[in-house]
Every structure is written in structure tokens, then in C-alpha cells.
Structure 1
Amino acid sequence: MMASCDFLDVVPQGTATVDDIYRTQYQAEGMVLSCYANIPNYFHPQQFPDFTGGNEIITSKGGTTRWFHFRSLVYGEESPTTTYYSLWSNTAKSYPQGAVKKAVWESIRNCYNVLNNLDRVSDITPENLSWWKGEALFLIGYYHQIMLEYYGPIVIIDKEIPMESSPAEMMTSRSPYDTCVDFIANKYSEAARLLPGVWDSSKRNRATSSAALAFKARLLLYAASPLVNGNSEFYSDFKNPDGTFLINQTYDREKWKRAMDAAKEAIDLCEENGYKLYGNSTNDLEQGKKNYHEAFVGDGISGSGFNWNEVLFGFAEQGTISYCIKNMAPRVEFTSYSTKGFRGSLFPTWDCVSRYYTKNGLPWADDPETKKLDPYSIAPGDSTVRFHRNRDPRFYASIGFDRGNYDVQGKTIVLKCRRGEMQQNNGNAKDEYQTDNGYYCQKWVSKYDTYNRTTDQITYNRWCFPYMRLAELYLSYAEADFEYSGTLSTASLSYLNKVRERCGLPTFADSWAKAGGIPSGEKLREILHDERSIELAMEGRRFHDMRRWKIAHTEMMRYQKSWTLSGKTADSFYKLTDMKETGVRNFTAPKNYWLAIPQDQIEVNPNLVQNPGY
């Protein structure tokens, strides 16, 4: 039964095999690279929930949970015996069809194996010895952080545990959340001391000291947040069998200071190593849109948009990227429904669309130029609602809307989304591949993405999906600063302005001067949350941010809106209604904040306690 504990169920390599693995630098580097293999694919909508489970981008209602697993979290289908996310355990008696598996504990063990054996490589250079150990340490921290975000307090693996270990060593309990944080933070710090700040072009997507400190900053920001910082509301009874609390019960303001300092340390290191936001500061809205869009997809002409100057760690598996482009881009070349070509069935939600600021860098309701206007009305002589006009340049770089410009097919087209038009939803419930709210995702699609109807072939742009980029660090610093001091320092305003001015918005202070000055208290907290959610929209972070902010049970129970898709005219189309969904939302606190510990592991290890609510 002990061998069924998945985090230990990795048979050690025999002596001869280990000798072979570490015989030369070439072979040893192969082992190091293999340690990356179990990092989840956060971007593919048919795999892990980060991208589509944050209420900002969603798939059409025709796709079931078997294909689009985020629905298991939205509709309350996850349980200790049924999960679509096999991370903690790969040995349950059965899994739902389509469940995705990653051997995280195995990769952690392999990382320790690297640390324990690299010194025996006879021809290894001092640089490679340092760098490859740094990569192993980074990945130990990162894999633990993955598990911490999905499951809450976890079992810490602090060494390569031999199979002949005693039951006491193997049947370990979960460590308190703060203990997990300290362990992971220390691994990132150790890694940063050994890794280069940036790799050359041949190794740009491997761990660096810059990435290590960036993930450490994310870790500490989460640790300071309401979900896990003194959350006695959710976790007053969440204890190990010996009575140890797994979540601290007393709020500690100093955690925000630690998070702020970590963000600053990461920012400084990144900037010293040449990382910067794509594009220059501008007050031209069109240039701001161009800067922001090209930061993700490149110029839309060359067919390559790898923004390694801003992306610190990312995912460049082009099969996933092609799948997403195919399902994001709107229908072209067909005047009626077709499963061929672009599909438009992976689209931004109403929450995502409505969150974007006006061109003045303010929420619609706060901007003196818009707050008295009905956003859903059409200005005289216009073809679309006011809601689509005079918005944040990131809106136009990210969102495709009826009668709006959209880059695809080698040109800029005008979307026509009303019933009977090319980019319509035709109302046939059997036709899965179409938008369910009248919007399309532009952020990840470019002019380079083209469909040839004659050959039935799509030509795809190539780029990297960011798992961590520099802009996040700027926003993290500002959030931590506010939570610690109750206001925004000069440094925080400078970092916010870097993000804003890249996309053509006024500075934070100049924007809010139009609305009576920078707000304070809860209003400022909400604004900082929106600054983050807008800049990082459709990148998978809001899934986790909603949880750490302790608002997921409210946000995920809100049904999304849609235009009236049967409308053939502007007046009939631009009427808000509820968007049709696949199921009934069922997201409760604290249950759905974390995944369940698999029942097969609870049964094997009596020291493991289940997450609250399951």
C-alpha cells in the first residue's frame, strides 16, 4: 500500500542507468531538460483550468466537460473520487474520460536526482554545474508552487526519498501553508544564486534567476492575500490530525511588505538583465494598441512574435497555440456555419469585455466623459454601441466586436455578428463552433493567421504564451504597497505608469485627476485589482487572483451576459440578455477554491486531511 503514495511512487534508477545518465555533459543535460516535462499546459482549453476557468475567456456551450475541463470547477463536478486534473495522484481506480495527468511528484524527485548526481559528470564545466543545479532548484520550487496554488497546503518533498524508507518517512502529513511558502521561497532564492539572469537566444525558455525571483514574488503576493492570510472564516477547522492549523488564523500585515520587497528585488534584477516592456511609452492611442497587441503576437507580418524581452518564462508549444488561434479567430471565407477554418468558439466573457477602461484610463462609471452616457445606446450616425467607442487601447488590441475592426486573414476586416451575417451565431444549438455572446478574442490572433478555403489549410503565427512576464511584477509591487501602507508610493505610481503608458493611457494620477483624484480604501483596492485583470486579461492569472482575493465564490456564481444574438438589426442585436451556458453554476466557498485531495491518497495515508468542503 505504501507504494501507492504517488509523490513517492517513482522507482529509483538502477546504478548502471544512473551512471549512463551522468556519464557526459550531453547526457546530463538531457536529464535536466526532462525535469521540465510535467509543467502543466495552462493555455490549452482542454487541459488545465487557469486560462478558461477565470470567467474572462470561455468556450461555447456546445463543448462538454469531457473536452473542456474548467466546467468541472464552474459546475461543481470535482470531488475526491472524480477529478479532471490528475496532479496529486495518478493511481485512482478510474478517471473521467479526458482527464489530464501530470507526474509532478516524479519530476520533483528527478530534480533531486539531478542535484545528487551532477557532480559526478566528468566533463561538466563549472558554469553548467552551477546553471543546471539552479534549474533543478527552480523546478523543485515551481512544482511545489503549482501544487500549492491548486491544492492549498501540500506535502513538502525536501529530498530524494529512497523506496526503502520507513513508513514514518513516507506517510507524511501536509505542511502548514506558511511553511510551504518558506520552503518554496528558499528554493527560488537558492536557484537565483546559481542561474544566469538571462539566457542566450538558444535557451530563452529555460529557468533564469530573473524568473526564479519573479515566481518568488508571485508566491509571496499570494501568501499575503486574504485567502491564506488569517482566514479563520474558511479555515478555522482546517488542521492536521495532530491539531496543527494548516492556514494561519491571524492576519499578518508584514506579509505584504515581504511581497513588496520580493517584487522589487525581481524587478531590479530583470531590468539589470535587459528585460523591458515591449514598445515605448506613447500618448498615441493607436500606437498604444499596436504596442500591446504586438507584445503577444508580434507584428502580424513575419509569422513570429516571441517577446523574450518581456516574457520571463513561457509556453511555446505551437500545437496548443495553433489550436487556440483556430478556435479564437472569427469565421472567414464562409457565409454560413462550417466546422472548417476559423471557429470563433473561444471568446472573451462579458466580465472581461466590460472591465476595460475608457481611453482616459478610467472605469466607464468614473469617467466624466462617459458616466452619464448609456453605454448600450448607439450614437447618432454610428453602427455600434457607445460601449465599443473611446475605450482603452488594450480593449481594441484584445476584443473583437460587432462592426469593429479585427486583424486576421492578412488584413483588417470589419466584424459583422448579427443574425444572417458572416460572424453570426446562427441559433442552431447543434452547431458548437461559434461565439455565444457576440464577441471574439483578438489578443492572440494576428493578420498572419490565414485560412485558405481551397486547400482547407490554416497558416498560423508563432509566439509564446507567457507564464510570467515583467508587467505582472510591476502590478504586484503596487498591490502589495497599497495593502501594506494604505496608499501608493512614488515607486508604485511609476510602475503602474510603465504599464499604462506602453499602451497609450495617461498616467494613473492624470487619469484620476479627471475624476476628483486618486481614490482610497476599498475603491483603490478594486481599481488595483482591475489594473491587474485588464493588463493580464486572458493569460490565466485571474483564475488564481480571484481565489487569493477571496472573491471567487461571488465572481464564479455570476452568469455572463450576451447581446441578443438573434437580432438582425442594431436595435434588436444590442439588447443585453443572459448568455446560455452548458450547465448550472455551482461554486461554493471554501470547497471550490482548491481541488480535492484524491481519495485514493487519503485512504493510503492516514496523515493526509481533506480540503474543507469536500
Structure 2
Amino acid sequence: MKKTSIFLAAVILTLIISCKKDYLDIVPDNIATIENAFTNRNEAEKYLFTCYSYLPQESNVSQNPAMLASDEFWTYWPITSLSRLPSYPQQIARGNQSLTSPLLNYWDGEQDGKAIYKALRDCNIFLDNVDKVPDLDPSQKNIWTGEVQFLKAYYHFYLLRMYGPIPIIDKNLPITATTEEVRIKREPVDKVFDYIAGLMDTAAAKLPITIQNRSSELGHITRPIAISIKARVLTLAASPQFNGNSDYNGLKNADGTALVNSTYSVAKWKKAADACKQAIDLCELAGIRLYKFNSALTSISDKLKKEMDIRNSVCEPWNQELIWGFTNGTGSGIQLQSIPRLDAARSGNESLLGQLAPTIRMAELFYTKNGVPIAEDKNWNFSDRYSLKTASSLNGDYLQDGYTTSALHFDREPRFYADLAFDGSLWYMQNKTWPVQAKSGQGQSRRAAFGYSITGYFTKKLVNWKFVIQDGLSYTQEEYPWPLMRLADLYLLYAEALNEANGPSEPVYQYLNLVRERAGLQTVQLSWDTYSNNPGKYKDQAGLRQIIHQERGIEMAFEGSRFWDLRRWKEASATLNTPVYGWDIEQTDATGYYRPKLLFNQKFVAPRDYLWPIKEYNTIVNPNLVQNPGW
């Protein structure tokens, strides 16, 4: 299997293989072992990699709740051991989170969650001991210190996003700590946000702007990463979930300390906007820019060039848009989960699963070709979107000539065709353009009890265009670092923060339109003025907020953003309390197939489901830990 040579993939693999060694199992009172871990540069570097090893693998559908615990994707049920799908995220999506044994528990490191508090302990150990390394160059020590300070801040952020107010672990407790000292308390959420942002600033000052040795250092934290993630942190702090949310009025420590301030502050949005602009300026200095496909590599149509602009902004390894890439797990994991059996003539076809299935709700989220929502475009027939329509040569590169499919699939924006494949679509790859036909009995239909799309949609966006199916249950692929942060994400955060801080303005439109231009769309102003039945929508703050939210939902679709965005916007209780639909995939004819089929009635209980529960056992052994609302 072909793999790119990327630093951190090898590093983390080494860590996984090495995790039984003593230096990875250090406890605070094991002084001799700690001292051995920092006796020379090589040993200290191993401990640095240990600090990295706790990073959640967000391209792994087993570990990342944002992939299968929301409404972007749906899967068949029940999930068995043969299906190569995890059940925990889908249990969350189905409203079956547990208080006694929380699913994807990153607090304790259980039920497919990593032990983030253990990660914080190891980060503190590194920071307490790195000065002892005798042969470590001072400049290298400074950079490594910055990396671990960032990781420490990021791990706090990861917990905060899941659990809300959390204890701050700035220093490890000594072995002489009293019982009461061990019983830590949750800190007010504003204090946690300030701590995280401050530590990221401290880290950024030590970090390089760019990687100097790309052959060995890709995957290390840089200054643009630190400042860009700080912008994301402060945007969450300013968002409705934690900015003036009265739902958390009763969330207090035993001493009466309120953990969430219920008073709204527009100053938080201004602070977030400033942080976003700082990050954008730094990214520009580092040469980071929106991805554009090098069309000199191959002779393709303008439509396909635009599709490759969109797809390769995610899938081209280390492309110019990537701010932070996580280098483990984008190969036989998420690509196989996304790609269907495209090549029926080869036995390797059976290795492909194609079971990461987007819902009809997501298909409807994308704009029309005119750059406005399908329910707003006065030239697009929204009421007949489920009717049948036959493609012609005019739909070339997107739809199969003469093939009958749903009207929902016609005259949509380029991101719709770049991100999704469906019955009647075309899947462009480097070696060939493949027709997708998914009705029962056709090439990409269900063949067995697992390994199929329950909705009839496939996630083209997450499959690198160099994926090649071979004989003998094999394939070649180009892995890519998972985009934990890319520039389009940052642009949209900036536009959002500016609109919330000051209302509609030219800079808001500017950064929205930069993303839209790369997606092949006209400006927000021109699209709404010309095509929308609500032409003035972008001119007021509330209307522009809706536009920004939908633009973000489209641009960041299937990358793990929607799950968290719906929560921070306090929109999850409305969006995730509606039915999930797919096409009727068991049907052989278009009339039967293109009937939306109810797959599940989602239920989201507010405010309970906005935050993870702290495992009940923890609140029993530590009475100072108050439980989240509703649990």
C-alpha cells in the first residue's frame, strides 16, 4: 500500500508500538524514571512525542464524535463487529449517551476516548524537566517548550468544548498532596478560556512561523497553528453556548461559584475578531493561502478544475491552505469508509466500504448554482426537488448523460458535486472518471449486511483523487494529513466574529467572498440581489448570520466542524430534533428509489446534550466535581 513519508505518522506509530516502555508510563512519584527520561536529547524527544500521542485522531470515525454523532452522516443499524464501524458515536447520535459509562469519554480515557487528563500530566512533566537535558540546544529547547505549552492548552480546550467548565491543570499535584487538594474543582468557563488563550500566546512566542525541515518536522506545531487555534478558542468563548447562556444559571460549584456567566458580552466577539485577524495576517506571512489546483498537471475541463480546487483543499498532502494537519489515519480508515466499489471489474473493489453516508439533509444544505439556498432561489423549483429528471450532455462532468436521477441533483453549486457522489453522478479520479449507480442490483448498491451507504450518498470530498483500485483485495492511495485547521475555516470564523461584533460590513463580505470565489460562486451581494427571494438578507446582522452559518456548514461539511458549530450556536436543539432521511436504497427503479425514506427520528435534549456528562463515579469520589445540567 502506497503511503507518503510524513513525520508524525511515523512518530505516532512509534509511540503506539513503544507505549509499553517505562518512559511512557511515568507516575508523579517515580522520580528515577522521570530523571532517566530527560538524561539526553533523544530520551527527551521521546517524551515530546509522548505529549503529542494523546492528540485525538479526528479522521478516525471511532474516536471523533463530530463524524458520526451528529446528522452529517448516517449508518445502518445495528452495527456489528463485521461492519468496521464504531457503535459509540452512533449511540450518541441516537440519544443514548450514558452517565455511568459515558461514550467517547475523553475525561477518563474510556469508551474510545483518550485520557486527556493523563496527557496534561505528561505535558507538565515535560515542562518541569526539559531544563535538565544536558545536550539540548537552547533554541531547540525553546521550540519544544512552546510545542508542549500549546499541546497543554489544546488539551484543555478539547475538554472544555466537550464538558464546559473544567479544572485547570497548570501544575501536577505533589505526591504529598492532601485528600482535599486532590479533590479539584471546576473553574468558571471564562477563566478557563483566558487560561487557554494566554498559554497559546506564550507558546506562540517560542514557535517558528514555518517548518524548516519538511522532511522530518512536518506535523510539529508552528506559530500559525497556535494563533489560529487561539482564534477558534475565542470564537467559542464568544458564541451563544458560553456567552450569556441562561441555561447554565444553575451550574455552580458547591461553594456557590457560578461556572458560566449568563451576561452577554459583545466584547468577546470583538476579542475573537481581533484574534482571527491576527491569525490571518500570520498565515499570510507564512505563505498560507486558499488552495488552487495546478491545472498544468492534467488536461481537464473548467468544471473539473473547480472540483479539484475544492476536493484537494482537503486531500492534497501538505497543500498551501493547510494550517494544521494531523498526519495519522487518513488512509485505510476514512478513505475506505467514504469510497464505494467503483471498479466492479477488479477484486480489490470489495475492500471498499462506502458506508460513511451523508444524509439528505446535508444534500439539501448546499446552494444552487446561483449561490443561494435551494429554498430561496427564485429560479430553482424547491417544491419539486424530489421529482425525477433526466440528465443531458449539458450536465457533463457532474451527471451521467441520459441517466434519470432526482431533481435535487441538478443545477447545484460546485461544492455539491465535489463533496458528494450519488446515483447518477460522476466520480472523477486521476486514473478514470467513474459512473456511480446505486439502485439495488447496480454497481454501487448494497451487496451485503455491511459495507454500503444507507442513504444513497457517498463522501467524495474525503477521498484523495489518486486512489486506485487493484486486484487481490488491494488498492493504492495517497494519504493526506487530516485538516484540523485550514485557511477557509479561519476566514469564515473571522467573518462570523466581525458580523457579531459590528454587524454587516465590507470586511465581512470580503472574507465570505474569498471562500465563495474559490468555490466557483458569485459574491454574497450579487447572488442575493440577483437570485434570492429575500434579496436584502445580507444587509442586516441576523440575515447575514444565517448566511454565514450556512456558508460555514457547506464549506466545512464532513470535516468534523458541524457537530461543534451547532452546539456553540445553540442550534443543535432545533436541528438535531428532526428526522434523518436517505433514499430508499433497496429499490431497483428510479420511481421507488427516489422517495425520501425515514431512517431515524433524532432527539436532542437541551440543555443536557450540549455537554458530555462527567462520569458518575468521578462525582461520587470527588464531591467537589459538580455534574453538568440534565445529567
Tell me the TM-score normalized by structure 1: 0.89
Contact 1:230/1:250 (CA < 8 Å) preserved in 2?
A: yes
- For residue 285 of structure 1, report the CA deviation from its aligned partner: 4.3
Larger displacement relative to structure 2 (67-76 or 595-604): 67-76
Aligned to 2:459: 441
Aligned to 1:187: 199
- For residue 216 of structure 1, report the CA deviation from its aligned partner: 0.8
Q: Secondary structure at the match of 1:86?
A: coil
- 1:61 aligned residue (59, 77, 83): 77
Aligned to 2:435: 414
Contact 1:230/1:248 (CA < 8 Å) preserved in 2?
A: yes
Please give the alpha-carbon distance, in whole angstroms, between the structure 2 residues aligned to 1:447 and 1:43. 17
Aligned to 1:315: 326
Q: Secondary structure at the match of 1:413?
A: strand
- The one-letter amino acid of 1:556's match is L
The answer on 1:396 being equivalent to 2:424 is no
Aligned to 2:90: 71
- The one-letter amino acid of 1:247's match is V
Please give the alpha-carbon distance, in whole angstroms, between the structure 1 residues aligned to 2:423 and 2:539. 34
Tell me the TM-score normalized by structure 2: 0.87
- 1:26 aligned residue (37, 42, 49): 42
- 2:142 aligned residue (130, 135, 142): 130
- For residue 189 of structure 1, report the CA deviation from its aligned partner: 0.6
Aligned to 1:161: 173
Aligned to 2:488: 471
Aligned to 1:37: 53
Q: Secondary structure at the match of 2:151?
A: helix
State how 1:130-529 maps to structure 2 within 5 Å. Answer: 130-200=142-212, 201=214, 202-232=216-246, 234-279=247-292, 285-298=303-316, 305-307=317-319, 309-318=320-329, 321-334=331-344, 340-371=350-381, 374-379=384-389, 382=392, 383-408=404-429, 410-425=431-446, 431-453=449-471, 455-487=472-504, 489-514=505-530, 515=532, 516-517=535-536, 518-529=538-549
- 1:599 aligned residue (613, 616, 619): 616
Distance 1:373 1:87, change over 3 A: closer
Please give the alpha-carbon distance, in whole angstroms, between the structure 2 residues aligned to 1:531 and 1:497. 10
Distance 1:10 1:225, change over 3 A: farther
Distance 1:563 1:58, change over 3 A: closer
Please give the alpha-carbon distance, in whole angstroms, between the structure 1 residues aligned to 2:558 and 2:326. 14
Q: Secondary structure at the match of 1:440?
A: strand
Could you tell me which runs of 5 or more consecutive residues in structure 2 were left unpaired when the two chains were aligned: 1-24, 296-300, 393-403
Larger displacement relative to structure 2 (287-296 or 542-551): 287-296
Contact 2:63/2:113 (CA < 8 Å) preserved in 1?
A: no
Please give the alpha-carbon distance, in whole angstroms, between the structure 2 residues aligned to 1:467 and 1:227. 22
Please give the alpha-carbon distance, in whole angstroms, between the structure 1 residues aligned to 2:257 and 2:107. 22
Contact 1:566/1:573 (CA < 8 Å) preserved in 2?
A: yes
Q: Secondary structure at the match of 1:526?
A: helix
- For residue 28 of structure 1, report the CA deviation from its aligned partner: 1.6
- For residue 408 of structure 1, report the CA deviation from its aligned partner: 5.0
- For residue 230 of structure 1, report the CA deviation from its aligned partner: 1.1
Distance 1:254 1:353, change over 3 A: same
- For residue 334 of structure 1, report the CA deviation from its aligned partner: 4.3
Please give the alpha-carbon distance, in whole angstroms, between the structure 2 residues aligned to 1:87 and 1:595. 10
Distance 1:460 1:281, change over 3 A: closer
Q: Secondary structure at the match of 2:191?
A: helix
Could you tell me which runs of 5 or more consecutive residues in structure 1 were left unpaired when the two chains were aligned: 1-8, 299-304
Larger displacement relative to structure 2 (133-142 or 192-201): 192-201
- The one-letter amino acid of 1:30's match is K
Please tell me the root mean square deviation across aligned C-alpha atoms, in Å.
Answer: 2.5
Aligned to 1:585: 602
Calculate percent identity across the aligned residue pairs: 36
Q: How many residues align?
A: 582
Cα displacement string for residues 487-533 of structure 1 (whole angstroms, at most 9, x for unaligned residues)? 1x222222112211112211222222213343424332111101111
- For residue 476 of structure 1, report the CA deviation from its aligned partner: 0.4
Please give the alpha-carbon distance, in whole angstroms, between the structure 1 residues aligned to 2:390 and 2:468. 35
Contact 1:348/1:440 (CA < 8 Å) preserved in 2?
A: yes
More relative contact order, 1 or 2 (CA 8 Å, 6+ apart):
1
Distance 1:64 1:259, change over 3 A: farther
Please give the alpha-carbon distance, in whole angstroms, between the structure 2 residues aligned to 1:408 and 1:63. 30
Cα displacement string for residues 174-200 of structure 1 (whole angstroms, at most 9, x for unaligned residues)? 001111101101110100111111213
Please give the alpha-carbon distance, in whole angstroms, between the structure 1 residues aligned to 2:465 and 2:229. 33
- For residue 542 of structure 1, report the CA deviation from its aligned partner: 0.8
